Each structure stands twice: as C-alpha cells, then as structure tokens.
Structure 1
Amino acid sequence: MDGKRKRKLSVAIITFNEEKNIGDCIRSVESFADEIIVLDSLSTDKTKSIATSFPKVRFFEAPFPGHVEQKNKAISFCQNDWILSLDADERANDELQKSIQSFLEAETVSADGYKIARLTFHLGRWIRFSGWYPQRRYRLFQKENAEWVGENPHDYIALKEGSRGKVMKGDILHYSFTDFSHQINTINQFSSIVAYTRYAKGERFSLLKTILKPLGKFFEIYIFKFGFLDGIPGLWIALASSFSTFLKYAKMYELDKLNIERPSNVRKDYGKK
C-alpha cells in the first residue's frame, strides 16, 4: 500500500455472465483498491477467466439467492474495513477515482458512508434527468456500519442507525443497456422478480393499481422528473417505466389467479441461500 494512505479499501462486485463488462469495471478501480472481491453466480461465459486475470481479484462463486442477499454475501468476503460496492456494468470516473484516493490518504474521515452520484449512458447519450441523475446512493462505506437492503431487484445500501453520511465528488458511470431491446429484456426480467417477491410477501393482484400505477409512473418520469429534457430517450424511458409498472401487476395476476409457481424467466435458484 502507498505510504501516504491511511486506510485500506475493498471493492465488492457481483456478476453473472458479465464478460463484456467485468474487465472495464475492474480497471476503473484497480489503481486504488487493495483487494477486489468478485462474487459470481455460476456464469457460463468468460467472466471468471477475465476477472481472475487481475492480480487484486479474489474470486468466489455461489448460487444467486437475490440481489440484496448476494451483495451482502460479497461484503462478507471483504477483508478491509472500508468497502466500495459496484455492479459489473458500472465504472468509477476520473473525478471519483481522485476523490477516493484523497479519502484513502486523509488523516481522518468524518463519515461512516459516502453517497455517490450515478450517471447512466443510454440510447446514445448521458441521461441527466428522468429521475436517473444524480440518483445519489451510499456506495462507499464502513463494513460494520452498513448493509444492502430493499426489495429485490431494487436494492440500496442503508447505514445503521446513528451512522454519519456524506456526499463524495465524482460519478459512477453506468452502462446499463446496450440498446433499447436490452432495456426491454431487463424490464421483463426485473418485473418478474418484483412480482415474484411481492407475491411471496403476501401482496395480491389489484385491477385498479394495474390501470392507475402505469399512468402515474409515466407522468412522474416525463413531467415531474423532467424526462422531456432528455429528448427522445427521455420519452422512451418514461414509456418503458410505465410498461415496467404494468408488467409487475400483470405478472401478479398470473401468480394470484393462474396459480403459476413463478414467472418463467425467474431463475430456479432465485431465493435459495
């Protein structure tokens, strides 16, 4: 470790078939990471061989029980007190890299966790409105004072009661979708997970919500979150968000009224510890 640095940092990443992303993700953090934990949910592509080609990577494999559970498992493998948690399709931009390096060299720190903005590239441009930016969330945190929580797959890091939080300069660059078809595939997958999770918790189908919630979501994204300022991509995002909301309730109908065990695109190992 550099003699100027006062603390060590682990980076935690979960993966599944991320051969197109994992290399760039690791390269964006290897200059300041003391170790990089990659927890893979049994990929069938080259994710493992790419990840393990980096000297700082410690690679683990485990079935996928859910986003919250898997990310907390990745944290449990980290050996250092401070952790940066990323998805494989995310990168630390130059400003964030400098901010983290300064943080590691600081004599003292006055927070237990740091929120970082995330900037998403989609449909040929960086999306700066539509509720997608700055979307600050805790990503750099002390291991003992934070954990992943939330409703799968919409997870987030929460600091424990009494912990102190601050905002760190810089952005996490998010290359979420390769194109609109990729976004639709993701919406289809994530809406299935939400419906499956909510149904397991006791929620049941509502026709009124199926009609009203998608309409409300469109106006929320396009008007109240200024999606119209993102041009045509902003319109597509609002429409896709509305469609995603509809799908959650439509799939709830299948689970509730048609007695299917789970949507067909929810992995069989989902929910297993």
Structure 2
Amino acid sequence: MPTLTVAMIVKNEAQDLAQCLDTVKDWVDEIVILDSGSTDNTQQIALNYGAKFYQNTDWQGFGKQRQLAQQYVTSDYVLWLDADERVTSELQQSIQHALRSNPQNTVYQIGRLSEVFGRKIRHSGWYPDYVVRLYKTDYAQYGDELVHEKVHYPKEAKLEKLQGDLLHFTYKDIHHYLVKSASYAKAWSIQKANAGKKATLFQGITHAIGCFMKMYIFKAGFLDGKQGLLLALLSTHSTFVKYADLWNRTRDQ
C-alpha cells in the first residue's frame, strides 16, 4: 500500500496537538509538522509522537507555509490536518481504502463537522464542509493565498469525497473567535488590497446582512439552536470587519 504522511502547520497548539495526533499516530507512516514560532510546549509534544519537526518564522501566509511543509513530506500521499481536528474511525477506513485503490489523477475531499461553543453545527452552511485534504504528494499543492488557502491540482483531476467526518473543534470561546477572525480579516484585506481591490463601508454592511440571512435563514442556522444564532451574528460582524479593513487600507488610493 502507498505510504502516507500527515502534514501540519502550527503555532502554539499545545492545547490541541496531542488529541489530534492520537487519531493518526498508529496508522500513518510519517508526521511532518512545520512550526511558525511557538512559545508553548508544541515542539515537545510533536517530538513525543515521533513527528519530524521543522520551523519557519518568516511567515508569508498560510499557502506558502503549507508549500514549504510539503517539501519535507517523503510519503506517496499527504493528508493535511489542523491541530484542532480529529480523524474519526470511519474517515480513517475511507482514507486507507483510497490508498489501497491508489487511482491515478485523483484528489480527495473530506467533510468537516465543526463543534462551536459546545454544539456540533449541522446546518448554517457549515456541514458537510468539504475540503481537499488528501492527494499524491507530487500531484498537487496549496496555492500562494495569504488566508483561506486552497489546494491547486490539474484540471483533469478527479475529485472524490471520502466517507466519515473530520471533527473540527474550531473556537474555544468568544475571545478565541474574535482573535482568530480578526487575524483572518486582516490577511483577507491585505490579500485583496495587494490585488488592487477596494471596498466601501456600504459593501461591508450589505455583505454582512447577506451573511446573516444566508447562514441563519437560508442555510437553516436556526436549527443549530443558540449556537447557530451566535455563530450567525459573529460571522456577520466578521464579514463587516474585513470589508471595513479593506476600505481603511485603500481609502486614500
């Protein structure tokens, strides 16, 4: 059967890393972790699991950091994980079946099931949150995006969905959400500004309202209870902030 590496980019993930690696340590061939400057116990935890641990503090965005991490991968296939994710047994079996089949020109999507503020979110447009995470190491790689990076693969590639959920414990609390979303908003606005894009505050308002309507009404976020309402409101805020940030960066241009 082809070999498999779990690849990760991390920074200060001591709280989550061990729980993530516990779900893969017994059945993958290699664990590659690229750290961007942790000050907690991330490195020691990674080494305890036999991971190959590297550091790069010259941060140029999520996409380029993943590109660099992939250069350290030595297996036939690479499976990308974040520290706040957990591979379920059903997903493990599906991944192993894909490796045994070993088809040509194929990349694999994995459905994420996110838990937010103590509840698994099955509506709100969040489930199943399919992302490309498994492919042959020499066949595809992430793009240069600063944030919301995506895997780039040949046009002739077949896209297949794997069975089983990838559990995603995305936000610990409100403060964690606000810090994380502010970081994403900044990276998004820089990326857009660098591409010559501009925005108005009115666009921020309309996109924010549209975000709430889509998540809470059209995507049935109301079925996710209080967490669904809170998530829709927070996402509305984050949407406005990223457009406001872009407006502020480009208003004198």
**Range moving further from structure 2, 115-124 or 139-148:** 139-148
Looking at structure 2, the residues matched to 245 and 108 of structure 1 have their Cα atoms a distance apart, in angstroms, of 40
Deviation of 1:158 (Å) = 3.2
Percent same amino acid at aligned positions?
35
1:167 alignment partner in structure 2: 161
Q: Which among 108, 123, 128 is matched to residue 122 of structure 2?
A: 128
Q: Does 1:37 align with 2:59?
A: no
Looking at structure 2, the residues matched to 112 and 145 of structure 1 have their Cα atoms a distance apart, in angstroms, of 9
2:94 alignment partner in structure 1: 99
Deviations 1:164-220 (A, max 9, x none): 221111111111111122112211221111112211221123133122111111111
Q: Does 1:65 align with 2:60?
A: yes
Looking at structure 1, the residues matched to 5 and 38 of structure 2 have their Cα atoms a distance apart, in angstroms, of 22
Looking at structure 1, the residues matched to 26 and 105 of structure 2 have their Cα atoms a distance apart, in angstroms, of 23
- Asked whether the equivalents of residues 152 and 197 of structure 1 are also in contact (C-alpha less than 8 Å), the reply is yes
Q: Does 1:11 align with 2:6?
A: yes
Supply the AA of the counterpart residue of 2:206.
L
Deviation of 1:226 (Å) = 1.3
**How many residue pairs align between the two structures?**
252
- Asked whether the equivalents of residues 64 and 144 of structure 2 are also in contact (C-alpha less than 8 Å), the reply is no
Query: TM-score scaled by structure 2?
Result: 0.93
**Range moving further from structure 2, 37-46 or 108-117:** 108-117
Structure 1 residues 245 and 71: CA distance shift in structure 2, 3 A? same
**Range moving further from structure 2, 195-204 or 249-258:** 249-258
Looking at structure 1, the residues matched to 80 and 202 of structure 2 have their Cα atoms a distance apart, in angstroms, of 38
Looking at structure 1, the residues matched to 182 and 248 of structure 2 have their Cα atoms a distance apart, in angstroms, of 14
2:238 alignment partner in structure 1: 244
Structure 1 residues 208 and 59: CA distance shift in structure 2, 3 A? same
Helix, strand or coil for the counterpart of 1:155? Answer: coil
Query: TM-score scaled by structure 1?
Result: 0.87
Q: Which among 109, 120, 123 is matched to residue 115 of structure 1?
A: 109
Deviation of 1:236 (Å) = 1.0
Deviation of 1:94 (Å) = 1.5
- Asked whether the equivalents of residues 32 and 100 of structure 1 are also in contact (C-alpha less than 8 Å), the reply is no
Deviations 1:87-110 (A, max 9, x none): 111111111122223333x25436
Q: Does 1:149 align with 2:149?
A: no
Supply the AA of the counterpart residue of 1:136.
Y
Q: Report the RMSD for the aligned CA atoms in angstroms.
A: 1.7
Deviation of 1:84 (Å) = 0.3
Segments of structure 1 that go 5 or more residues without pairing to the other structure are 1-5, 260-273
1:271 alignment partner in structure 2: none
Helix, strand or coil for the counterpart of 1:219? Answer: helix
